Structure 1
Amino acid sequence: MSVLLALLAGVAVLTAHTAVNAGRWLRRPAAAPADVTETVAVLLPLRDEAARVTPCLRALLAQRGVPRLRIVVLDDGSTDGTADVVRAVAADDPRVTLLDGATPPPGWLGKPHACWQLATRADPAATVLAFVDADVVLAPDAVAAAVGELRAARVTLLSPYPRIVVATAADRLVQPLLQWLWLTFLPLRAMERSARPSLAAAGGQFLVVDRAGYTAAGGHAAVADRILEDVELARAVKRAGGRIALADGSRLATCRMYDDWPQLRDGYTKSLWATFGHPVAAGAVVALLLLLYTAPPLVAVAALAAGAPGVAAGAAGAYLLGVAGRVVSARATGGRWWPDALAHPVSVAVLGWLTLRSYHLRKRRRLTWRGRPVV
């Protein structure tokens, strides 16, 4: 019974931390931002995104409140006609520049190399760089609001996390864990104040950074071989003396990351090993997550069957507290919570399996993404 009480207390503390993060420390950019007087370069790396890039690029062209907006697009060796789609959508808009990407040299992964080329070839007058992925669709005021929050918060790097669009059962099980994990386990206020590089998080789907701070941190050249280049860039900024912040970007942007289960499975598999680090640490974290969030409903059912209503009630309480944390996270980030949060134990179990798969394939050097090996 003491173990059950400890488990119940642990889940309660983590759910309370989620609520404090979401209600007090999560930044929310202004709904009606002032016009941005700086030159802002929006940087869009593309590799085989012909089917996705149109809504993204149209949303960039529709941005308001940024009179000196520059849009730089890099075609990173696409074979599906991505560049042709960009030319058709952009037409003769003078704000858009389309670049041909070079093959990554030894020691570079594709995404950091594409971002580095964009950053180094953007308008020299641009004082802010905004990195956007092709699966992101920005609201008309998104860039202005994000730049305004960057300056108001006095940070070097701001990560306004988009609202993740879920369409399939797999989406609904796995994708909400992204926001839930950092709202539950990352002390947002301490992350902003602390100079420790290890205390950092960021999402590369929509990332806004002061150009001078980006350069001082070494830019993407400092994270050339990192699969989690967004988080590693945030750490590089901290090492250079800059500050970082996360924000709820659900009003500013939406993102449909993967079209189907194979894409989602492979997308998480390629990077989870880098998220958790050493396999022993990963095993400990996954075991703890399973104990806190997947075990309680199983214990509750088993206890009921064994005629132990007190144990069943305690385990059911732990389960419901875990569900409550998922609900708080979803409501704070524009996500769907009903009835998806009820399946939170299954979500955590799937995350555990994806983590195991990630380490397994990495050990066998079989990790790839977008047709390139993940070394």
Structure 2
Amino acid sequence: MRWPALLPLLPLVALTTHTIVNAALLRRPRTAATTTERVAVLLPLRDEAERVTPCLQALLGQSGVPHLEILVLDDGSADGTAEVVRAVAGDKVRLLSGAPPPAGWLGKPHACAQLASAAGDADVLVFVDADVVLAPGAIAGGVELLRSAGVQLLSPYPRIVGAGRLVQPLLQWSWLTFLPLRAMERSPRPSLAAAGGQWLVLDRAGYERAGGHAAVRDDVLEDIGLARAVKRAGGRIALADGSALAECLMYTSWRELRDGYSKSMWASFGSPAGAAAVVGLLVLLYVVPPVAAVVFLAAGAVGPAGWALAAYLLGVVGRVAAARATGGRAWPDALAQPVSILLFGALVVRSFALRRSGRLSWKGRPV
């Protein structure tokens, strides 16, 4: 086969190879770690009565952290969230009543800022969402890895469960495929940053040098914004696979997933043109090949059909590598990579449409 015939495959070969290399280099917290540092676990809640119990029980069962304080903030819930916290945890956690966000602040950054201010003399701040359930040694493992990696912000991605098997795995796949993880750790560039707000581990001093959540007060993607703020302040960040120590039930239905993605996808790209470029590239790389394979085969062009099929399979291999590295389900989900990309594109379009019409909201608050 002539070299020109291989050229269309080279980008996919490079990307899939990058996924595999990143997966091999991916940091992971130890499951049997201990720490003597003072750690504050910070849990912001708004209308989480139905899902907070497993999260709280897991936090109360942490081991390897003798100096641990759990602070919970009820951010104006109307569903009895505070009562559930009291019933489950009693006086084992410190329950705060959140103030309404002032002008210029979004709800979650404001809730997190209040929690951090109340964290006393903690050396390490651990932010956790209500839909995350941590294994007993998760907090100690996260703190140990924060220190051994020499970073100020560590983002251990939990294993994602629940609705969205076609879309949710794209989160981990995207940064394993397109983000050079170790280069990101070394680079001072704020634009080269990623993080997931479900579970964040931060050095307290580094968090405060970055301006805390006040630095991202109006940021819809406050987790990524916080990672960039840490870099701007001279700190370092790292991603890790936390799937062995944490599980996250982000969405229980397609409607929840659709609304959750629509709330924030517009903020991921900078502009509609940028979003169109990214989605167009993904479609070209991962959707066109299987369609082309069918078209070529129907036309009797067996050679081109084989190369198009090879391109499709390279995308599948990348999804499998990402799933195996992050505790996800590889088969048969990876075979549906083209469908995943199309659904992702549709969610991006919906997010920009709602943003343009001013109809974006989340938990009763405008975005």
- Identify the TM-score tier after normalising by the shorter chain: over 0.9
Instruction: Give, as a single letter, the amino acid of the residue that structure 2 aligns with 1:87.
Output: R
Report what 1:158 is aligned to. 154
Report what 1:355 is aligned to. 348
Report what 1:367 is aligned to. 360
Report what 1:29 is aligned to. 29
Task: Note the C-alpha offset of 1:2.
Answer: 9.0
Task: Note the C-alpha offset of 1:252.
Answer: 1.1
User: Which of 118, 127, 142 is the equivalent residue of 1:146?
Assistant: 142
User: Which of 327, 338, 341 is the equivalent residue of 2:331?
Assistant: 338
Instruction: Give, as a single letter, the amino acid of the residue that structure 2 aligns with 1:335.
Output: G
The equivalences for 1:80-229 within 5 A come to 80-93=79-92, 96-122=93-119, 124-166=120-162, 168=163, 171-229=164-222
Instruction: Give, as a single letter, the amino acid of the residue that structure 1 aligns with 2:300.
Output: G
Q: Which sections of structure 1, spanning at least 5 residues, go unmatched?
A: none
Task: Note the C-alpha offset of 1:6.
Answer: 3.5
Equivalent position SS for 1:37:
coil
Report what 1:72 is aligned to. 71
Q: What are the superposed Cα offsets for residues 118-161 of structure 1, whole Å, 9 maximum, x if unpaired?
A: 00111x22010000000000000000000000011110000000
Task: Note the C-alpha offset of 1:3.
Answer: 8.7
**TM-score normalized by the length of structure 1:** 0.96
Q: Which sections of structure 2, spanning at least 5 residues, go unmatched?
A: none
Q: What are the superposed Cα offsets for residues 99-131 of structure 1, whole Å, 9 maximum, x if unpaired?
A: 001111110011101100100111x22010000
Equivalent position SS for 1:149:
helix
Q: Contact 1:156 / 1:242 at 8 angstroms: preserved in 2?
A: yes
Task: Note the C-alpha offset of 1:294.
Answer: 0.8
Equivalent position SS for 1:56:
helix
Report what 2:227 is aligned to. 234
Instruction: Give, as a single letter, the amino acid of the residue that structure 2 aligns with 1:296.
Output: P
User: C-alpha separation between the residues in 2 aligned to 1:308 and 1:333?
Assistant: 38
User: C-alpha separation between the residues in 2 aligned to 1:48 and 1:32?
Assistant: 33
1:280 aligns with 2:273: yes
User: C-alpha separation between the residues in 2 aligned to 1:78 and 1:293?
Assistant: 42
Report what 2:294 is aligned to. 301
Instruction: Give, as a single letter, the amino acid of the residue that structure 2 aligns with 1:334.
Output: G
Q: What are the superposed Cα offsets for residues 31-55 of structure 1, whole Å, 9 maximum, x if unpaired?
A: 321x211110000000000000000
Q: Contact 1:293 / 1:348 at 8 angstroms: preserved in 2?
A: yes
Equivalent position SS for 1:29:
coil
Instruction: Give, as a single letter, the amino acid of the residue that structure 1 aligns with 2:121.
Output: A
Instruction: Give, as a single letter, the amino acid of the residue that structure 1 aligns with 2:197.
Output: G
1:270 aligns with 2:258: no
Equivalent position SS for 1:99:
strand
Q: What are the superposed Cα offsets for residues 354-375 of structure 1, whole Å, 9 maximum, x if unpaired?
A: 111111111111111111111x
Q: What are the superposed Cα offsets for residues 267-288 of structure 1, whole Å, 9 maximum, x if unpaired?
A: 0111111111111111111000
Equivalent position SS for 2:242:
strand
Q: Contact 1:4 / 1:315 at 8 angstroms: preserved in 2?
A: no
Q: Which region of structure 1 is more displaced relative to structure 2, 5-14 or 365-374?
A: 5-14
Q: How many residues align?
A: 366
Q: List structure 1 segments (4+ residues) > 3 angstroms apart after TM superposition.
A: 1-7
**TM-score normalized by the length of structure 2:** 0.98
Give the fraction of aligned pairs with identical amino acids, expressed as a percent: 69
User: C-alpha separation between the residues in 2 aligned to 1:6 and 1:206?
Assistant: 41
Q: Contact 1:7 / 1:292 at 8 angstroms: preserved in 2?
A: no
Q: Which region of structure 1 is more displaced relative to structure 2, 322-331 or 278-287?
A: 278-287
Report what 2:37 is aligned to. 38
Equivalent position SS for 1:328:
helix
Q: Contact 2:31 / 2:138 at 8 angstroms: preserved in 1?
A: no
Q: What are the superposed Cα offsets for residues 240-289 of structure 1, whole Å, 9 maximum, x if unpaired?
A: 00000000000110001011011100101111111111111111110000
User: C-alpha separation between the residues in 1 aligned to 2:154 and 2:232?
Assistant: 16
